[in-house]
Structure formats: C-alpha cells, structure tokens
Amino acid sequence: MKKTLLFVLIVSLMLGAFSLVSAQDEVSGDLEIFSWWTGGGEEAGLNALIARFGELYPDVNVINSAVAGGSGVNAKAVLVTRMLGGDPPDTFQVHAGEELNALWVAAGRVQPLNDIYEENGWFDQFPAGLIDMISDDMGNVYVVPVNIHRSNVMWYVPGNLEMWGVDVPADLDEFLTVTCPALQEQDVVPLAIGENWTQSHLWESIALAVLGPEGYSGLWNGETSFTSDEAIAVWEAYGQALDCGNEDMNALSWQDASQMVAEGGAAFNIMGDWAAGYFLVDLALEPNVGFGWAPAFGTDGSFMMLSDSFGLPIGAPNPDAVRAWLSFLGTAEAQDLFNPVKGSLPANITADIGNTELYNAYFQSAYEDWTTNDIVASQRHGAAVPQAFDSGFLDIIAGFQGDHDAASAAANTAVLAIQTGVGQ
C-alpha cells in the first residue's frame, strides 16, 4: 500500500515537473511590456523582473517599451492611442483603482484573470481591499498588482536638518509658519518641488493634511464638497506650500527634486516612496543617514496608497507569454525581487517582508504604517479617480500656479468632478 502511494506520489511529482517544464517550453515569441519605468530609480525593479522571467522562460523575447515621464504622464497618452488604434502592447502598467476600472475595464479592453488567480491561490494572497480595487461587480479580476506604494511621504536628510536647526514639522501649520520661514532666512529652499504632476502630488498630501482621512476620501465619494470652506482651505495651504518651493520647479523631474534634497539644495520633498528606490539604488544612500522620512506634514496616521499592476489587453499579440508573465509577477518570489529596489511594499502577503536584509528600515516603517494606519486612495496615481479627472486636474494645478486663486481652483475642480463622474 505504502509502495503504491509512493509510486503515485513520484509519478505525479514527475508529471507536475514535466508539465511545468513543457508549459514553459511552449511559451515563446515576443512579449512587449509597456510601462513608464525608464530609469532614475524606476527601471531597476522592472529589470530585475525581466531578468528572472528570462531565466524561467528562455524562449520569450521581452521587448521593454517603457515611455519616459514620471507618473506615466506621457506613457498613458501613448497607451490610449495604441489601444484605440488596435495596436495594444502585450501587457501594460496601470494603477489599481479607477485608472483601470473607469477606462480599460469599462471599455471592455482587458481580459479577466480569475483562472490565474485561482491556479496560484492568489485570492487568499492579496489583501481583500486591493482585490476589490481591481475587480468588477461580477467578481472578475483584471490585473496583477506588483506592489503597494505610499504617496504621502516627506523626505529629508537628518544631518542637514540638524545643521539648519530645524525639526521635522509635526504638522502642516508648523511647516508653513515656523519651518519654512526659518529655512528661507538661511537661504535654504524649504520644499523641493518638481514639474506639474509632482505639484498635484503635493496637493493630495496637503488635502489629506487639511481634510483628514475621512474628509479627503469624501472628495472622491461625494461626501466632501469641492467648494466647501475646507476644500478652499486646501488650495490656500497648497498656495503657501508652493511659496516655500524652488522657483525652477516646472523644470525639474521628480528625481531632480529628490536629488536636490539628497544634495542639500533643499530641506524637504514630498514624493511617493519610489523616491526610496531612487535614494537606495541610484544614489546608494543609507536609510536614516543619507535620507530620512516621515509621513507628509500633518498626515501622520494615514497611509495614502496606490498600486502598480499589469494586465492582459484584448487583442494582445502574444497572450500565452502575457499569461506566463502575469503568473510570475504575482508570486512572492517576483515581488521580493522587485519591491526592495522599487521602494514599495509587496502586494502579495506571502512575500518576505519580515526579512530585514531584503526590506530595510524604510520598508519596515512603511509596513508598520500600512498595517495600522487609516488607508486612503491616491488621487494623483489613479487609485481614487479616473484618468479623465486627472488630466483636467493637472490643468487646474497649472492655472493655480499662475494666479493662486483658491476659490476659482475649487470651483473648477467641482466642475471637473461633475464632468468626469467623480463623487457623483
């Protein structure tokens, strides 16, 4: 009896191994991966994934067609042209949440991936809230998330703050009324700010600080009016924060603004934790020495989240290779290769986040906050609002830079929300 069992076990193991090998052998051809991760902290993670995937699937030829431009400002436009022009890439980067749902899922342009989730047991390995963000009402799930990023992080160099005699501000008010003037008196730029989209990134952290997690989320679910006194106060505080920034902000990428802090040209920068990837990998800085971090002023206790994910467009030239790629992306192995260099937390809860060799002090503190804070969705990075709102909002941000008119920016945002179905 025992022998028979053993035999059955050996044969099934062999068959299992054989089917894995043969499945991998069968997958071949080109696999075009579309993203906006082109370098300066963004590319390393993608390259780590591609390298391991290449070992697992040696007959697949990966074409990395990343389009430069932080936060996908250029890539998303190229993607729309390609998808609507009948020329989809095999797989593309998209944010979990409304960026995915309001456009690609609503237009029926991406395939459900439930079978991949079931085969891999992923319905139990990704947080339920995240699965919810990438599924429709019928329970069809459309993408595989590679990470959890945090948007509301404030970066600085501990030794520089000491040298300038300033503390990490406890809240927004302290930053605007104490820290910013103290630094300006010493001719130090208090806040490094970059191009247009990074300004809207700053705006969402200030909105969270002024409105609190419930009030902030209320903007997107309709419970906070865009023209309320509180919402106008967000614009006023945002205008004051812009006045604490560098004059050449429109000319700087997010990496330039992060670098300004690392090199002592500015005291603080508010950016997502892809900046940790940039500090760690590109600038080879040590956490808590070369760079320090805190929740963006006034947002302590809240974790503003977003998640990068990949899907399978309908009409993708090589769906078998995409399915192999996606089946790899969600594994703990892939997530542990990617996230320590990308600056994000693994989305798969079976990944090795407890391993402090792999996930240093920054990740440990982000993980602590992720598991204990109020979670809110990033507006800027596609979690809370559709792409249509985001494009219009970038114009409002640009207009506000010119006139600093809080009431009119608030009114324009209210109109944009109606036009794009936000909070309705």
Residues that bind ligand GAL (CB under 6 A): 36-37, 42, 70-72, 149, 254, 272, 274, 306, 308, 381
Looking at beta carbons only, is 323 or 381 nearer to ligand GAL?
Answer: 381
Looking at beta carbons only, is 131 or 383 nearer to ligand GAL?
Answer: 383
Identify the residue whose tokens are 């932080």. Answer: 70
Output the smallest distance, CB 209 to ligand GAL, in A. Answer: 20
The residue among 67, 86, 87 whose CA lies nearest residue 77 is 67
CA distances from 81 to 34, 87, 89, 139, 180 (A): 13, 8, 11, 29, 43
Output the smallest distance, CB 417 to ligand GAL, in A. Answer: 21
SS3 of residue 272 by DSSP: coil
The contacts of residue 77 (CB under 8 Å, 6+ apart) are none
Looking at beta carbons only, is 183 or 308 nearer to ligand GAL?
Answer: 308
Output the smallest distance, CB 139 to ligand GAL, in A. Answer: 25
Looking at beta carbons only, is 308 or 336 nearer to ligand GAL?
Answer: 308
Which helix H or strand E contains 82, and what residues bound it? helix 75-84
Which residue type does 315 have?
A: G
One-character DSSP codes across 310-369: EE-BTT-S-HHHHHHHHHHHTSHHHHHHHHHHHT-B-SSTTS-TT-TTTS-HHHHHHHHH
Tokens of 395: 């114009």
Looking at beta carbons only, is 190 or 277 nearer to ligand GAL?
Answer: 277
CB 73 within 8 A of CB 197: yes
Looking at beta carbons only, is 70 or 245 nearer to ligand GAL?
Answer: 70
Output the smallest distance, CB 318 to ligand GAL, in A. Answer: 24
Tokens of 320: 């078998």
Rounded (5°) CA angle 45-46-52: 95
Output the smallest distance, CB 359 to ligand GAL, in A. Answer: 17
Output the smallest distance, CB 381 to ligand GAL, in A. Answer: 4
Looking at beta carbons only, is 201 or 323 nearer to ligand GAL?
Answer: 201
The contacts of residue 319 (CB under 8 Å, 6+ apart) are 90, 111, 312
Looking at beta carbons only, is 149 or 323 nearer to ligand GAL?
Answer: 149
Output the smallest distance, CB 47 to ligand GAL, in A. Answer: 14
Exposure string (b/e) for 230-261, b if CB count within 10 Å is 16 or more? ebbbbbbbbbbbbebbbeebeebbbbbbbbbb
Output the smallest distance, CB 310 to ligand GAL, in A. Answer: 12
Output the smallest distance, CB 382 to ligand GAL, in A. Answer: 7
